A and B are shown apart, each in its own frame.
Chain A
Amino acid sequence: MSAFIRSREFLLTIIVATSFFIYFPYFVTSPEPLPSIESWLVTTTVVIVSFAVLVSLYTMTRREALRVTKRGKGWPYGLIMIGLTWFMIIVGVISGSSADAFRFCTDAFILPGDATIYAILVFYLTSAGARAFKLKNLESLVLMIGAVTVLLKQAPLGEYLFPYIGPVGSWMVNNVGMAATRVFAISATLGGIVLAVRLLTGKEMAMVGLLSRRKKD
C-alpha cells in the first residue's frame, strides 16, 4: 500500500485530477457537482496550508530545543524564541487572539519588529545609491536618469521646484516602467504556464517531494 502511495503515477494522478476540477468549471459551464468539487478543493487547500504551518512549528521547536539542551552557540536566544512562541500559542488557543496577554506580545514585539525589518531597507538603498549609481556607460546613465526623474516626481518639493518633472516622471512610469513591467508579467506568465504543463506531465515532481528525476527528464 505504501509503495502505491509513494509511486510517481499515483501522485501525478492526484495532481492531474485536482487540476482538471479547477480548470474545467472555469472554462466550461458545468453542471453540478463539478462547481461544488471546485469549491471544495479550494477550501481543502486552505485547510492544508493552515496545517502546514504546524509542521514548521515542530521543526523550529525541535531545532531550538536541541540547541538549548546541547548548549549550542546562542542558546539563550533560542530559548527566548521558543518560549515566546509557545507562550503565545498557549494563550492564543486558550483565551483567543483578543486576550490581553496575546495582544501585549503582538503590540510590543511583533508589529514593531515587522515594520522595522522592512524600514531598514531605506538605509541600505541609500548607501547603495551612493555607491552603485556610477555613470560609467550609457546604461548606467539611463538608469540614473530614470531614478532621478521618478525621485523628483515623487517628492512634493521636487514637483514644486521643477513643474515639468511631474508629466515627465509620469510618462516615464506609465510608459517605460509599465513596458518593462508588462514584459516581466508576460515572461512570468509564460514561465508559469510552462511550469504548470511540466507539472501536469510529470516532469516537475520535485515540487511534491519526489526529488529523483528520470534521465530522460
Chain B
Amino acid sequence: MIDILYFAWLKERMGRSAESLQLPPGVTTVAALAAWLRDRDDAGRLAFVDTAIVRAAINQEFAAPDASIADGDEVAFFPPVTGG
C-alpha cells in the first residue's frame, strides 16, 4: 500500500485530502502515478489536467517526476509552493 496526500487546489479537485491504495501494476514513478490518477476518474482528470504544474514529494522530500515509488511510501501531490 502507498499513502497519497493532496494539498491546496489538488485536494479540492480530488475531493479528498488523502487515500491509501495498492501501487497499481506497472506504476513505478511519480509521473506514472500522476498519469494513473488522471485516467482513473473525473476528479483525477480535473486535478491532473496539467501534470507539468503539479509538484510531488515522496516521504516528505521533494521528488522529480522520474523518482521511484515503492510500497509503503507516502506520496504527496500539490501545486508549486507559495509561502512566506
A binds B: no
Chain B residues packing against A (C-beta within 8 Å):
none
Chain A residues packing against B (C-beta within 8 Å):
none
